[in-house]
Amino acid sequence: MDIMLFHSVYGLRPAVEAAAERLREAGHQVWTPDLFDGRTADSTEEGMALKDGIGKDELLKRAVLAAAPYSDRGLVYAGFSFGASVAQTLALGDEKARGLLLLHGTSDLAPNVSVDDLPVQLHVAEPDPFEPDDWLSAWYLQMRKAGADVEIYRYAGAGHLYTDPDLPDYDAEAAERTWAIALAFLESL
């Protein structure tokens, strides 16, 4: 499977490269575009400032340019938190997308978006301050209405970015469960 994996607001850090390597070891080809041009953050606030400083339109342009050379292959779009929102936007706009793997995040949907049974898997903490229950319920219904085949996995007590071993949110058990389920999802595509 060809996977385009987008980083969180922390930037392209070792945890993203480690995740990409885990996916490669499972037989996938993985690209990890650096939407922040080498800059990384040490906190969520610093990362949000980086993201906001570059701007939503520029970040989306960078993501599209990173994916464009490979999109004819039928990519699986994936991402962490902010990167998940980028992945969702690209997957819903790419008629050749093979799947969408969301780790720790979602995004708004355009009102008239439509996909043809796009397989979508979301892994998110429970509770998650960035993905509250009401939002997730509405998001799920919108994704289903758009035609996506959605699975949601919740991890009670885990922090927001619980798969990143370099952050305080890290939860080893939840992270390993997430990767086991995500790898099975990717194999099914």
Phi/psi at 4 (5° precision): -105, 110
Contact (CB, 8 A) for 125 and 159? yes
* Residue 123 pLDDT greater than 90, yes or no: yes
Question: Stretch 152-165: mean pLDDT, rounded?
Answer: 96
> What percent of the chain has pLDDT above 90?
98
Whether residue 88 contacts residue 106, with contact meaning beta carbons closer than 8 Å, is answered with yes
- Dump pLDDT digits (tens) for 24-38: 999 999 999 999 999
The bridge status of strand 149-156 relative to strand 99-103 is: unpaired
What pLDDT is stored for residue 187 in this prediction?
A: 97
pLDDT reading at 110 higher than 90: no
Q: Which distant-in-sequence residues (6+ apart) come within 8 Å of 154 by Cβ?
A: 124, 125, 126
Q: Identify the pLDDT of residue 139.
A: 97
**Each residue's pLDDT tens digit, 35-90:** 999 999 999 999 999 999 999 999 999 999 999 999 999 999 999 999 999 999 99
Residue 124 has pLDDT above 90, yes or no: yes
Share of the chain above pLDDT 70, in %: 100
Average pLDDT, the chain: 96
Stated as kind and residue range, the H or E segment containing 17 is: helix 14-25
Q: What is the pLDDT, as a whole number, of residue 94?
A: 95
Residue pair 159/6 in contact by the 8 Å Cβ criterion = no
Contacts of 42 (CB under 8 A, 6+ apart): 10
**For 34-171, where are the alpha helices, taking DSSP H only?**
44-54, 56-67, 82-93, 133-146
With cut-offs at 50, 70 and 90, classify the pLDDT of residue 111: confident
